[in-house]
Amino acid sequence: MPKGHGKTITQNKKASHDYFIEETFEAGIVLQGTEIKSLRNGRVNLKDSHARIDRRGEVQLINLHIAEYEQGNRFNHDPTRSRKLLLHRKEIDKLIGLTQQQGYALVPLKIYIKNGYAKVLIGLGKGKKKYDKREDLKQKQMKREVDRAIKDHMR
C-alpha cells in the first residue's frame, strides 16, 4: 500500500476476506459538491461497491453509497450513482489487461482524504474459494490464541 495516506474515511474490511489482493492503485474520485461534504462527515458505505472499466476506457466506481448531505436541499446528489475514478492511462491499460483474466475484480479497499482531495485505494483481487476463506479464519483464530497466550504469560 502506498505510504502517506491522509485521514481515513472508511475501509472495506470484507475485501481481504473475499479476495486475494495482489496489487493496489490510488485513484481520485470525481465528486459533486454535496458528496464531498457527506464524505468528510463519514457518511459513506463501501460494502457492496466495485470498480469497472467501461467501453470508453474509464474506470467507474459502482454502488458506492454516499448519503445525502443534510443541508443539501435541491442540489443533493443520487446516493448510489456511479462515479468516475481518475487514474493514469498506463494504470488503466494495465488494469484492462489484468481484469480480462478469469477471476479478477477491482475492489475498493479504502477511502481517505489526502492533501484535501478524496482518494480511493482500489485493489486488484482474485476471488477466494470457500476453503480459502475457512483457512484464513483458522489462521486468524490461531494468531489470536497465540497472542492471548503471550499476553497471559507476560502477566
Domain ranges of the chain: 7-129
Residues with pLDDT less than 70, the chain: 1-5, 72-73, 75
pLDDT for res 122: 93
Cα–Cα distance for residue pair 153/145, rounded to 1 Å: 12
Write out pLDDT tens, residues 105-146.
Answer: 899 999 999 988 999 999 988 877 777 778 888 888 888 988
pLDDT for res 136: 82
Length of the chain, in residues: 155
Q: Which residues contact 39 (CB under 8 A, 6 or more apart)?
A: 9, 31, 66, 111, 118
Cα–Cα distance for residue pair 111/118, rounded to 1 Å: 7
pLDDT for res 86: 93
The answer, as to whether pTM is greater than 0.85, is no
pLDDT for res 1: 43
DSSP 100: T
Cell of 71: 443541508
**CATH hierarchy code of domain 7-129:** 2.40.280.10
